[in-house]
């Protein structure tokens, strides 16, 4: 009886939160934008997002439609500021990631491969919400991009379009990746603004955010169940 009540309250609370906070229970809501994917939080081998081609200079790549539209908007705004960005790598399937990781591991060993490449299922590129960028005419992905005017523009402006520079300098221990000024991740404008303001990695932001959500759910439960 009590258990049933608890379950129904959780369901109702989750449904209520779903509308206003798409990140409520973020790692279960695959239509949202704020779920955390990293070396500890893997995506199912069977998860295949609906994607479309991203229009812009560079490689022909796909992303989820909301992220693609936001990226096109970002490219247009950059261009107005005299910054010409190019697409390098967007959505990657589980099996593509598997072959990339396998190649790096064969070349340099597992430890080195883990530093620069994600094991299959642990890449944000599989979400269809990540893009690797370069300046127009280049396909180079390296930390020097962060020092170019293109890279600095991305660092300063990506949040306005719902993107974050996901792997920040100095947080390798937290994110599991070295600084990647070229890798942007779509999280939607609200989260991107908040993350940009905090200047903290998504791992920390998400744990705070989750705590707030669970705290809210627990309050709801307590109010309902106790007399």
Angle (CA) 75 167 197, round 5°: 75
The H or E element that residue 64 is part of is: strand 62-64
The H or E element that residue 206 is part of is: helix 202-225
| Least CB distance to Zn ion at residue 183 (A) | 4
By CB under 5 A, tell whether 165 contacts Zn ion.
no
Among the listed ranges 3-11, 24-32, 146-154, 180-188, the one in contact with Zn ion (CB under 5 A) is 180-188
CB-wise, 183 or 191, nearer to Zn ion?
Answer: 183
By CB under 5 A, tell whether 88 contacts Zn ion.
no
Angle (CA) 64 20 129, round 5°: 15
By CB under 5 A, tell whether 183 contacts Zn ion.
yes
By CB under 5 A, tell whether 114 contacts Zn ion.
no
DSSP 46: T
Measured between alpha carbons, how far is 86 from 101 in angstroms, rounded to an integer?
A: 24
Number of residues this chain uses to bind Zn ion (CB under 5 A): 2
| Least CB distance to Zn ion at residue 123 (A) | 7
Measured between alpha carbons, how far is 188 from 163 in angstroms, rounded to an integer?
A: 7
169 catalytic residue (yes or no)? no
CB-wise, 22 or 132, nearer to Zn ion?
Answer: 132
Q: Which residues are marked as active site?
A: 180
- Give me the residues that bind Zn ion (CB under 5 A), please: 132, 183
């Amino acid at each position: 009886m009590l258990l049933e009540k608890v379950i129904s309250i959780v369901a109702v609370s989750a449904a209520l939160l779903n509308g206003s906070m798409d990140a409520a229970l973020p790692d279960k809501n695959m239509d949202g934008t704020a779920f955390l994917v990293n070396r500890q939080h893997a995506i199912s081998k069977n998860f295949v997002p609906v994607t479309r081609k991203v229009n812009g200079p560079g490689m022909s790549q796909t992303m989820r439609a909301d992220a693609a539209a936001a990226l096109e908007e970002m490219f247009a705004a950059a261009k107005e500021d005299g910054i010409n960005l190019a697409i390098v790598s967007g959505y990657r399937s589980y099996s593509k990631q598997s072959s990339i990781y396998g190649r790096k591991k064969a070349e340099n060993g597992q430890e080195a491969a883990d530093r620069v490449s994600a094991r299959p299922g642990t890449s944000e590129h599989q979400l269809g919400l990540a893009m690797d960028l370069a300046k127009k005419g280049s396909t180079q992905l390296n930390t020097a991009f962060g020092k170019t005017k293109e890279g600095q523009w991305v660092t300063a402006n990506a949040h306005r379009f719902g993107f974050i520079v996901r792997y920040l300098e100095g947080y390798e221990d937290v994110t599991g990746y070295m600084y990647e000024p070229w890798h942007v991740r779509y999280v939607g404008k609200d989260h991107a603004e908040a993350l940009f303001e905090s200047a903290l990695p998504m791992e920390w932001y998400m744990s705070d955010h989750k705590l707030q959500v669970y705290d809210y759910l627990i309050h709801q439960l307590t109010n309902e169940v106790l007399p």
